[in-house]
Structure 1
Amino acid sequence: MNDNAEISNNDSNAANYEHLPQICKELRGHEFYPQIAIPALYETEDIDAENKLIHAKYFHPAGTWLVAEVEVKTGLCFGYAKLASNPGGAEWGYFSLPELEQIATHGGYVVVERDCYFTATKFSEMGME
């Protein structure tokens, strides 16, 4: 991993997630929780889905999760999820970062990862619909 990319994505208003678990951090090799400021839950509820700004992207062979809002205290997010087992059922909703962080498949060697190089992007520009 390029440490400069991680630093360039840092934000002086970034939330502190130290209280949340990072069981797979050593295997992952990077911070799981976003190192940037993200709107709080319900802060963007008046913005249409296609115009919502996606602030973080998580991926795994089982699916992709896009974060638009987060509650720092619990790691509960509002965003878009597209699961490999049901790609036609992709939808907006709530998901838990601590639960995603603990997913380890294929003997524990494949974990959900945060795209460390992802930059905030409008949902309509992501090609996920």
Structure 2
Amino acid sequence: MWNEPTEKDLVALPRIYETESIAIDEKIIHMHFFIGACDWYAAEYDGEDKFFGYVILNGDLDCAEWGYFSLEELKSIKVKGWAEIDRDLYWKTRPFGEVMKERS
């Protein structure tokens, strides 16, 4: 993985279930990981390996969904043996509703 999050980056995220009472459009997206047309938006972190967030694979918004994804799994993905998932270093923390407006 390029630009792997540091421990300092990770402890800044809310813990799993901490934002459960927040409406989806208002849920804050703290990190963005990407490769090609695939995006992982992290809203919560369990303190060990799992994120809760929104995932869009191959640009397919119709099948995109909220769920859990693993940092270790993201780090292990290599496309064509060399291309790795990257963390967006220019990501500005903002509500999910704004993220989706920007995508349309």
| TM-score higher than 0.5 | yes
* Structure 2: segments with no counterpart, 5+ residues: none
Residue in 2 that maps onto 1:87: 61
Secondary structure of 1:124 counterpart: helix
Residue in 2 that maps onto 1:112: 85
TM-score scaled by length of structure 1: 0.70
Between the aligned partners of 1:61 and 1:68, the Cα distance in structure 2 is 21
Sort the Cα spacing of 1:43 and 1:59 in 2 relative to 1 into closer, same or farther, 3 A. same
Figure out how many residues of one structure are paired with residues of the other and give that number.
99
User: How many Å apart are 1:69 and its aligned residue?
Assistant: 0.1
CA RMSD after TM alignment: 1.8
**Cα shift readout 1:79-121 (whole Å, capped 9, x = no counterpart):** 0000007432001111111101110011x22111100111211
Between the aligned partners of 1:79 and 1:48, the Cα distance in structure 2 is 13
Supply the AA of the counterpart residue of 1:82.
I
Between the aligned partners of 2:59 and 2:14, the Cα distance in structure 1 is 29
**Percent identity of paired positions between Structure 1 and Structure 2:** 36
Secondary structure of 1:87 counterpart: coil
Residue in 1 that maps onto 2:71: 97
Supply the AA of the counterpart residue of 2:21.
D
* More strand by percentage: 2
Supply the AA of the counterpart residue of 1:126.
V
TM-score scaled by length of structure 2: 0.85
Residue in 1 that maps onto 2:5: 33
Between the aligned partners of 2:59 and 2:31, the Cα distance in structure 1 is 22
